[in-house]
Amino acid sequence: MQINISNLTLKHIIQENQILINGFINKIQTTDDNLLKLKIHTKEGDKNILITQNSFFISNKSEPAKQNPGGFSAFLKKYLFNQRIISITQQELDRIIIFEFPSVYLILELFAKGNIILCDKEMRILKAMRKEKWKDRELAKEQKYNFPSSRGQNPLKLDENEYIKKMKQNTKTVFGATLELINIAPLILEFIFDELKIDKKKDSNTTSDEELKKISSFIQELYSSPIQKIFVFENTLYTIDLKKNIQKEYSSINEALNELTQRNFEQKEVVKKEQKKIDYKKQQEDFEQLELELKEKGNMIYLKYQELNELIKQINKLIKNGFNEKQIKEKLENKIIKIKEINIDKNIIKIEI
């Protein structure tokens, strides 16, 4: 099962992996699971970065790489090999991470199926891992790269007065309207409402200015906070203390993602093995059915041996007397064993039993 990553967790992933900045790309590979793996030489030694469809992290396991994969990883090698990472940033707290190099940007779109795009310094696309097209943007060579529209306003740039104004104009609940206006994880917003003891179902336009100010302030406080607690809740990885009863807490995001990703790989392997068992079982059933059909046909041929032998004698006799294929079929059409085809030149007789 794929673990979801909140936008705040992505912000904290960058903070935790600052060691990668000023590191040099030593190797670019594609794993057996079609994930991109970067080997980066840092001041603390070599680090293997694994990029999944919704995250990136320092992997503590050597994931098997494809031999001579070509394609996208080979293309990236031309531009990134031995290049220094200048910065790693997040686009407006969206699920988009930007690795900056001296002459290019490597952009990770960590949502939906995920994508990786290499752009020059003018943000012209050199190549995308997967071509995609929407009504307002296209990920293809030579196209200008445009960031996708944000789901809501950046919590770190939230203008309190503008927030209150828009909430007063909204007809939804105060919770729904806030979720619509601000790019915030639902569970984090629920935690804020619980802590402030504000009714989520209250109408947005009747919520007091004082309550809205408290919500705005708390959102900015949480999204400005450092890593507090790393845990998985309802299939999502969080990095702040939401006061939830959880089964397991992690010491670092890298540790969590290593374990969760490996668990996901293992689950996929189990599914593959089960599918192979099902395919093998079906193959066996097909073979058994074919064997049964062949036995039945063999028994039928054995039972009809005398008739077949007599039929062949008659056909040979007719051939000696100068009959052609059509005449032979007409001559013997009332026989129990039906003749489907006769080819005298190739000595072929096809019958229907």
Is the Cα dihedral 206, 209, 214, 216 positive or negative?
Answer: positive
pLDDT at residue 274, as a whole number: 65
Token pair for 101: 């190099």
Q: CB count, 10 Å around CB of 351?
A: 17
Please choose, from the candidates 50, 6, 12, the residue with its C-alpha nearest in 3D space to the C-alpha of residue 28.
50
Q: How far apart are CA 321 and CA 333, in angstroms?
A: 18
pLDDT at residue 289, as a whole number: 79
Q: How far apart are CA 166 and CA 155, in angstroms?
A: 15
Per-residue confidence of the chain (353 residues) as pLDDT tens digits?
678 999 999 999 999 999 999 999 999 998 877 889 999 999 999 999 999 999 999 998 877 677 665 689 999 999 999 999 999 999 999 999 999 999 999 999 999 889 999 999 999 999 999 999 998 899 999 999 999 998 899 999 999 999 999 999 999 999 999 999 999 999 999 999 999 999 999 999 999 999 999 999 999 999 999 999 999 998 899 999 999 888 789 999 999 999 988 876 555 555 566 676 676 667 777 777 777 777 777 776 666 667 777 777 887 888 888 888 788 777 777 666 677 777 777 777 776 66
Q: How far apart are CA 282 and CA 274, in angstroms?
A: 12
pLDDT at residue 31, as a whole number: 86
DSSP states of 170-223: --SBHHHHHHHHB---HHHHHHHHHHHT--TTSBGGGS-HHHHHHHHHHHHHHH
User: What burial class does residue 271 get, using C-beta atoms within 10 Å of its C-beta: 0-12 exposed, 13-18 middle, 19+ buried?
Assistant: exposed
**What's 19's DSSP letter?**
G
Q: How far apart are CA 40 and CA 27, in angstroms?
A: 7
pLDDT at residue 195, as a whole number: 96
Q: Tell me if residue 293 falls in helix, strand or coil.
A: helix
Q: Residue 177: in which H helix or E strand, if any?
A: helix 174-181
pTM: 0.74
Q: How far apart are CA 230 and CA 242, in angstroms?
A: 10
pLDDT at residue 302, as a whole number: 65
Q: How far apart are CA 11 and CA 20, in angstroms?
A: 15
